[in-house]
Amino acid sequence: MISQKVILLKQVRDKLNEVGPGMCLAKWSQLTLHLQNGHNHSCHHPNTHLVPLEEIAIEPSALHNTNYKKSVRKQMMTGERPNECHYCWNVEDSVPKGRDDIFSDRVLKTKEPWSLALKDKVMELGYKGNINPSYIEVSFSHGCNLKCAYCSPHISSKWMEEINQYGGYPTSRNYNDLAHIKFQGKMPIPEREDNPYVDAFWEWWPDLYPSLHTFRITGGEPLMTKHTFRVLDYIIEHPNPKMELAINSNCVVEDKLFDKFIEKVQLIEQKKSVRSITLFTSCEAHGARAEYIRNGLDYNKWLSNCNKLLTLVPTIHFSIMSTYNALSVTSYIDFLIDVLDLKRQYNNVHREIGIDIPYLDHPKWLNVGILTQQFKPLIATQLRYMRSNLKTTHIHFGFRENEIAKLDRIQYLLLDEPDPVNQKDFALFFNEHDKRRNTDFLTTFPEMTDFWHYCKSLT
């Protein structure tokens, strides 16, 4: 039997396709803004692009409505599939024949209330008009205390410190070499220096704030910048009961910062200054394997702080961003057990513990597509576990259908013939990773020994 959610998603997809096969409302309604280097993108899958200073000097809303973005909007409205949106085309083009219930993120994002509500306005403005996004993610700084394997110096200050000391990684494209980041215009402006992009944001903020459906602070690690707490104080002083507030955190910052954050959100909660508060955290493996992927993570502290926050802020919503990658596969079942335990303890009438499972697209050498078919049964086992703990009207703490669907589509990304260049880069990166960070791949992932030696043989 087809669920109502699937029926709705099909309707959304059909409406988008009436405009064109590349149409997606997220290009208008959603903004991710990296103020530390002046880059933005609408939808987190495409590469970012630089916001020209001359454009925000005229109009601060050009932090969103850049001339470049308007050119991509034009492609979407004239029947094209923009190249920068290949993440969704990969999903749509890999769906097996006969499966009409697997959807790309252009459909999933468009059907969100913050996006669908702008549909008529988008069609009226077309691709030329300026629009305030209803969903905005902003990072004020690249300050961070972790060095996740798939991250970058322009997003993590810890990565920047390492690359300044050792240089880029010896992969085929010299991963995270600063020359490439400088060429892309992504070198971050230190928080201690004047930043015209931050200035433009605070100039735009009074006009942007009242019409926001969702405001989300990301990073870096947001709890390490003063601007996060400036936003929280502004909300306390200027309530916006229609807005949903969201904050990303790795949940392993210094205790005094985490406690300060809890105090602020408790006050916002008590005053009902916003419609809801959501904490987004990240993890995509279990225990030592998670700590290997997210260098600097203490998995037990992460889990403990998740419990602490959920206990002290009873109505806070909570979602885990789980960027599924090649190193997730072997311990993901244990991770799902911990996630289900959080759901079991803290799901209530006010909030739900959620998990989002996007697949990692970049760097290619960490994408699940590098794995051999021997790992595919592990994903099948994970899917069975999620399905056996399905959230229903009688079981309120299980996994939702859309959460399961996100993992379901990943199994189709495992290729019969993985790209040997990416497998070689996998070995080159983690071999160097072990040297620089005093880690040991085979000690952490003994179950991947054969795959590791095969990848090493390609170097």
Q: Would 421 be classed as within a structural domain?
A: no
Tokens representing 126?
A: 């077309």
Cα 30 to its chain centre, rounded Å, is 13
Cα separation, 417 vs 373, in Å, equals: 9
Instruction: Give the per-residue pLDDT at 207.
Output: 95
Q: How many residues does the chain have?
A: 459
For residue 416, the model assigns a pLDDT of 83
**Side chain identity, residue 177:** D
CA atoms of 213 and 288, how far apart (whole Å): 38
The secondary element (H helix, E strand) that includes residue 87 is helix 86-94
Q: What is the DSSP letter of 221?
A: -
Within a domain: 171:
yes
CB proximity list for 175: less than 8 A, separation 6 or greater: 168, 169, 363, 425, 429
Token pair recorded at residue 354:
């959620």
pLDDT of 144 reads 97
- Rounded to 10°, the helix 420-437/449-457 angle is 110
Residue 84 lies in a domain: yes
Task: Give CA–CA dist 301/287, Å, rounded.
Answer: 11
Two tokens at 26?
A: 């997220």
Nearest to 346 by CA among 322, 318, 387, 320: 318
DSSP-derived 3-state class of residue 274:
strand
Instruction: Kindly report the pTM of this predicted structure.
Output: 0.85
Which DSSP state fits 75?
A: H
First-last CA distance in the chain: 50
Sheet containing 274-282: which strands, arranged edge to edge?
Answer: 49-50, 39-41, 30-34, 135-139, 214-218, 240-248, 274-282, 317-321, 353-356
Q: Which residue has the tokens 């071999």?
A: 431
Q: What is the pLDDT of residue 447?
A: 98
Q: Residue 201 domain-assigned?
A: yes
**161 near 371, Cβ under 8 Å?**
no
pLDDT at 1: 59
Kindly provide the residue ranges of all beta strands, DSSP E only, lying in 251-367, ordered along the sequence.
274-282, 294-295, 317-321, 353-356
Look up the domain containing 238 and give its range. 1-282
CB of 366 within 8 A of CB of 150?
yes
Return d(Cα 361, Cα 150) in angstroms, integer: 10
CB 240 within 8 A of CB 209: yes
Q: Any bridge partners for residue 248, and if so which?
A: 280
Residue 147 belongs to some domain of the structure: yes
Q: With respect to residue 351, please indicate whether it lies within any of the assigned structural domains.
A: no
pLDDT value of position 3: 83
- The answer to whether residue 150 is domain-embedded is yes
Instruction: Give the type of residue at 11.
Output: Q
Domain count, the chain: 1
Q: What are phi and psi of 403, to 5 degrees?
A: -70, -45
Residue 236 half-sphere exposure toward CB, CA atoms < 13 A: 15
**Residue 159 domain-assigned (yes or no):** yes
Please list the ranges in the chain whose pLDDT falls under 70.
Answer: 1, 393-395
Contact 245, 274 (CB under 8 A): yes
